[in-house]
Amino acid sequence: MTENYYCVIMAGGVGSRFWPLSRMNKPKQFLDILGTGKTLIQQTFERFENICPTENIYIVTSTEYKELVQKQLPQLNEKQILLEPYRKNTAPCIAYAAYTIKKINPEAILIVAPSDHIILKNDEFTKDIKIGLDFISKDNNMLTLGIKPSRPETGYGYIQFNKSQLENNPEGLVKVKTFTEKPNYELAKIFFETGEFYWNSGIFIWSVNTILKAFEEFLPDINALFKEAYDKIGTNEEEEAIKNVYLNCKNISVDFGIMEKAQNVYVLCSDFGWSDLGTWGSLYEHSVKDNNSNAIHGNNVFTYNTNNCIITVPKDKLVVVEGLDNYIIAESDNILLICNKKDEQEIRQIVNDIKIAKGEDYI
């Protein structure tokens, strides 16, 4: 059965909330952010090598990152790297991968996962993915992995389900009631307190036929574009055909485009030490702290009267921080960011402002 299991790793994002460490020319999925000796995409790839054959793992990334993928994952052949000419969010990315894999194996079951997430409990993760694969193998449903929330987080999407169903289901598989994308703090607090909402991990499992049927029903315009290009996938004409598709398709996530509308969506309620590592705050949460609750990444950092900060600087840079509480201090490639942790959601706007004022040299 494992020959029908495929994994699609989405690796085209720029990680702007992690600026200045994550930059356009080398975004966070290609960085060893945690100091483990392996980049986030390498860790993700290894995680799925335990679940499906190496030749069944596909990377979807931006054209500009082809060489980075090849350098960091040399075990891939060129056909396993699908190149997006433009960033159009997760729905076109998933459609491209699904039509590519359908041509190879129409019975394929796909795991779709981001390339830049942390999984601390790999055994638990593998167990849950195998439960999900078994579930999807038996029915025409779509599955998302939900994560038990540890706080009222406003940066994540939420999945609602019937709590009584979860209590009667030892495997944690329940039908989804609603999706809510990034609520405000008051709503996130209510979600957290009810126990009826899990975080949306962005990890999905479905058969190739089920997801393409969903595209046909809910995103017919995107589906029609890829269907028209289908015969050219895997040929010398693929690059030009896909460029035309991406020029004409809309920018939309699979969550908004399909998952919020479909009725055959289930969630596997999980707890495998997950973080999307999308913000400086999430890196702080997963970093070792000193006695003053500072997370320091750098060899020559001295702190005085400084607490609850995350400080990330080049190893050879001498940095002294005095009198700060709850701040992000990050330097990379001659760019220095000093920002209150509570304002980290503003970093994306800051990056946009700098792009307008200074061009792309600093982005």
Per-residue pLDDT tens digits for 306-363: 999 999 999 889 999 999 999 999 999 889 999 999 998 899 899 999 999 999 889 9
Model pLDDT, residue 217: 97
d(CA 171, CA 341): 37
Task: Output the CA torsion 153→159→164→170 (10° steps).
Answer: -90
Sequence ranges of the chain with CATH classification 3.90.550.10: 2-278
Model pLDDT, residue 277: 82
Model pLDDT, residue 208: 98
Model pLDDT, residue 104: 96
d(CA 222, CA 261): 16
d(CA 240, CA 206): 28
Model pLDDT, residue 1: 53
Residue 189 tokens read as 């607090």
- Pairs from 78-82 (Cβ < 8 Å, separation ≥ 24): 79/234, 80/55, 82/58
Strands (E), the chain: 5-10, 57-62, 81-84, 109-114, 118-119, 142-147, 158-161, 173-180, 197-207, 265-270, 274-275, 295-297, 300-304, 310-312, 318-322, 327-332, 335-340
Model pLDDT, residue 358: 92
Model pLDDT, residue 90: 96
**Which amino acid appears at position 15 of this protein?**
G
Coil, strand or helix at 31: coil
Model pLDDT, residue 63: 96
**Can you list the residues of the chain whose pLDDT is less than 50?**
none
Coil, strand or helix at 337: strand
Sign of the Cα pseudo-torsion (90, 24, 351, 39, in order): positive
2-278 has which fold?
A: Spore Coat Polysaccharide Biosynthesis Protein SpsA; Chain A (3.90.550)
* Cβ pair 135, 141 in contact under 8 A: yes
Model pLDDT, residue 143: 96
